[in-house]
């Protein structure tokens, strides 16, 4: 190793930040024109390790700025300021079907960013880095509080922004992955929204009784959020992902209790038995299990189970009755739900009903089903435990990594704008983004 290369300096600013906040990676004091590899390494809470790397060439001053200089090759190429995060992938030899999801949001995601001599692609464990920095990525901004919620039989967590409030409220539902998914709600609270993440698949009620929750469960969650002294009870929205959108639309349209200021549906559908219980809605796609397809890698493709979109009005949530703004986020390569076809039908239904002015559709070519907060690594496929028979299967979610990552970043920005416009009247809440 050249002696001068031993003096290479690596800096990442900010070294502590929110998950949706960009950072600047800067290499200095390298040999002018030298070939270097910049690598990110993260060990998940489940013990699995993920990596991303780019190959760079130092300029005439011995500098590399990842936000300005192109990666020649690696897990990403070109000028990609956040490529070291969104292109993270399981290290070679990992078991198949992994998906990165933060469970304990009260601790940061720690990423070690290192610089190596030469253009390396493997064997990093045996290499000595020229320099390294540990970066912390948080879903919870300083001052955000997590409050477990068990009132009324709920299994939920409420995240309150810093300050006295009152804050607009958000009810956050993920899909059928099970357990309480908190990271999006925590990040939304970091942007000024009192956000409650709800577990409706493996709730305490379901574990104790063996029964699925009913509509009353979600109405209870709404009441608990609405009645919190730091929540503005007249400004509450819902955000749903995947199957969570089915429940979100059902509650927004048909509940006598729930009155919303806005609705966000990500990667979902309005197809459901209108008069069905939560369990009946959940099991409805399985009636067409024979339409399940398989990829060349034997990954399950479920999107056809709800196609063609029914014409029977009893099998579609009547979005024409919606009285608040609705934002749909669609990945056009979604292989799990017919999100694109559903969005087109929703648009037609609302146009016929005269409420299409309430609808905004964000549709992204080559984005898949798992549209998450920015810089979340893309999982084109992963293992998934089905609710119906409680077995793990390999599912194809879809999406191409670069386009999917772009979609996540763009959609998140627009979701925040949509929520601010409809819950804060267009005014920006106090910024909580700096750690």
Would you say residue 432 has pLDDT above 70? no
Looking at every residue in the chain, the average pLDDT score rounds to 94
Which residue is listed with tokens 């009260």? 106
> What is the rounded distance in angstroms from the CA atom of residue 115 to the CA atom of residue 313?
58
- Confidence (pLDDT) at 220: 96
Instruction: Look at the chain and count its residues.
Output: 435
Architecture of domain 9-138: Sandwich (2.60)
Kindly report the backbone phi and psi dihedral angles of residue 383, in degrees, each rounded to the nearest multiple of 5, phi listed first: -75, 150
Q: State residue 176's pLDDT score.
A: 84
The predicted-structure confidence for 92-111, as pLDDT tens digits, reads as follows 999 999 999 999 999 999 99
- Among residues 15, 14, 115, 129, the alpha carbon closest in space to that of 63 is found at 115
pLDDT computed for residue 363 by the predictor? 98
Q: Which two tokens stand for residue 108?
A: 């940061």
Structure tokens at 320: 């024409």
pLDDT confidence of residue 435: 38
Q: What is the mean pLDDT of residues 361-388?
A: 94
Predicted local distance difference test score (pLDDT) of residue 103:
93
For the beta carbon of residue 281, count every other beta carbon within 10 angstroms: 20
pLDDT at 317 over 50: yes
What is the pLDDT confidence band of residue 430, given thresholds at 50, 70 and 90? low
Per-residue pLDDT, 211: 87
Let me know: does 176 contact 282? Beta carbons within 8 Å: yes
- List CB contacts of 273: < 8 A, sequence separation 6 or more: 280, 281, 284, 314, 315
Cα distances (angstroms) measured from residue 389 to each of 93, 286, 393: 29, 11, 10
Q: Which residues are catalytic?
A: 242, 334, 369
| For range 321-340, the mean pLDDT | 98
φ, ψ dihedrals at 393, nearest 5° = -130, 165
The CATH 2.60.40.2240 portion of the chain extends over 9-138
The stretch 84-99 carries a mean pLDDT of: 96
Q: Is the dihedral of CA 195, 85, 379, 71 positive or negative?
A: positive
Q: Strands 262-266 and 231-241, how do they pair?
A: parallel
Contact status, residue 87 vs residue 100, Cβ threshold 8 Å: no
Residue 309, φ and ψ in degrees, nearest 5? -60, 125
Q: What's the confidence (pLDDT) of residue 434? A: 35
Q: What is the pTM of this model?
A: 0.94
What are the strands, taking DSSP E only, across 219-358?
231-241, 262-266, 293-294, 300-301, 326-331
Decide if 337 contacts 306 (C-beta within 8 A). yes
Q: Which of 39-43, 220-224, 294-298, 422-426 has the lowest mean pLDDT?
A: 422-426
- Between CA 283 and CA 97 the distance in angstroms is 24
For the domain made up of 145-425, the CATH class stated in words is alpha beta
pLDDT digits (tens, 9 = 90+) for 4-18: 556 899 999 999 999
pLDDT digits (tens, 9 = 90+) for 378-390: 999 999 987 665 6
* pLDDT band at 426; cut points 50, 70, 90: low
**Residue 428 reports pLDDT greater than 80:** no
């Amino acid at each position: 190793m050249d002696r001068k290369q031993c003096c290479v300096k690596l800096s990442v600013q900010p070294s502590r930040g929110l998950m949706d906040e960009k950072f600047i990676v800067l290499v200095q004091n390298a040999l002018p024109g030298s070939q270097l590899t910049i690598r990110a390494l993260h060990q998940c809470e489940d013990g699995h390790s993920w990596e991303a790397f780019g190959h760079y060439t130092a300029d005439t001053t011995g500098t590399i700025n990842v936000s300005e200089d192109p990666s020649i090759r690696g897990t990403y190429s070109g000028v990609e300021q956040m490529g070291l995060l969104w292109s993270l992938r399981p290290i070679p030899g990992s078991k198949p079907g992994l998906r990165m999801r933060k469970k304990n949001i009260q601790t940061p995601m720690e990423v070690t960013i290192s610089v190596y001599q030469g253009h390396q692609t493997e064997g990093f464990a045996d290499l000595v880095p020229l320099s390294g920095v540990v970066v912390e990525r948080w879903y919870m901004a300083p001052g955000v509080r997590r409050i477990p919620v068990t009132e009324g039989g709920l299994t939920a967590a409420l995240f309150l922004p810093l300050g006295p409030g009152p804050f607009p409220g958000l009810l956050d539902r993920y899909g059928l992955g099970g357990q309480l998914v908190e990271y999006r709600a925590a990040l939304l609270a970091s942007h000024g929204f009192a956000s409650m993440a709800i577990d409706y698949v493996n709730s305490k009620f379901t574990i104790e009784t063996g029964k699925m929750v009913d509509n009353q469960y979600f109405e209870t969650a709404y009441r608990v959020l609405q009645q919190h002294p730091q929540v503005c009870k007249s400004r509450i929205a819902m955000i749903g992902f995947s199957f969570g959108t089915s429940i979100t639309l059902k509650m927004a349209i048909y509940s006598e209790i729930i009155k919303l200021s806005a609705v966000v549906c990500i990667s979902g559908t309005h197809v459901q038995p209108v008069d069905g219980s939560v369990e009946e809605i959940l099991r409805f796609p399985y009636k067409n299990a024979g339409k399940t397809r398989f990829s060349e890698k034997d990954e399950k493709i479920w999107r056809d189970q709800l196609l063609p979109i029914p014409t029977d009005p009893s099998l579609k949530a009547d979005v024409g009755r919606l009285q608040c703004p609705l934002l749909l986020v669609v990945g056009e390569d979604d292989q799990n739900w017919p999100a694109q076809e559903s969005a087109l039908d929703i648009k037609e239904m609302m146009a016929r009903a005269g409420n299409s002015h309430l609808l905004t559709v964000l549709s992204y070519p080559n984005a898949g089903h798992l549209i998450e907060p920015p810089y979340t690594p893309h999982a084109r496929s992963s293992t998934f435990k089905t609710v119906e028979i409680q077995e793990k299967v390999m599912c194809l979610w879809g999406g191409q990594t670069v386009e999917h990552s772009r979609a996540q970043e763009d959609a998140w920005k627009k979701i925040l704008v949509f929520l601010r416009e409809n819950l804060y009247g267009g005014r920006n809440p106090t910024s909580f983004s700096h750690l």
